Amino acid sequence: MFFIRLKHSHSHKLYLGCKCMKFNRGPHNRGKCPFSIDPADLMTAKGSVDDCVSCVQGQSSYLRSYMEDFRQIAFFAIIEEAPKYDPNHPSGASFTTFIKARVCTRLWQERTKLLQCIPYPHDTCWHTDTDDNDNPLLLSLMQEACGIENIADTVIRQLEVETLCKNLPHLLLELSELERRVIKLKFFEELNGVEIAETLGMSEGRVSQLKSNALAKLGKAYFKLGYI
């Protein structure tokens, strides 16, 4: 069984605070993110660390409150991992690539931990104009519920996110093993359709079909259990 973090999501705006688009963020896409560090002076990574932290935080005010923690984690990762770099490693990775991978992985692991709980009441989130979102699963579930039952917006706003988060493991039992794997890869590990297809050894179209089926089942199960 796996747990998926949930946050409120209202839009698909591009995140311009870092050099990658919002839905392309994540360790799997770090190859496209610039990173600069001088092996002789590890503190030269400050600018890149700030970019990485900004990327991990996204537009979430909750995650932004942990900015200094993220920065410390990044620098600890650099200090701890720098001596482990092997220029003769078969991968041929440069020192910069090696450090970037370690920093990125550490930051996103911490982000996952922080987003496994929702520390604020849902009613204050629904009535804000800020883009406090980071995981599209909640939005997808709400859209699916709307399509199934044609629920009015006023009813959707009564959605108890805490309840959904608590009961999600139970709801996931409604899915087939393959559907659960697709949901896990898409919303927990944040892989895109192509990457999921490669991981599972199937076509991207099949992945899309499984994701749609899974969201439909989750939406129906959620509605049936009386959560909305």
> What one-letter code names the amino acid at 120?
Y
| HSE-up of residue 100 (Cα within 13 Å, Cβ side) | 22
pTM, rounded to two decimals:
0.45
pLDDT in tens, 155-164: 333 334 455 5
Helices (H) and strands (E) in the chain, counts: 11, 0
Domain boundaries along the sequence of the chain: 22-114, 136-224
pLDDT of residue 34: 87
At 36, is the pLDDT very low, low, confident or very high (cuts 50, 70, 90)? very high
Look at residue 49 and tell me whether its pLDDT is greater than 90: yes
Domain spanning 136-224, CATH class:
mainly alpha
CA–CA dist 128, 125 (Å, integer):
6
The CA distances from residue 137 to 98, 99, 177, in Å, are 31, 31, 18
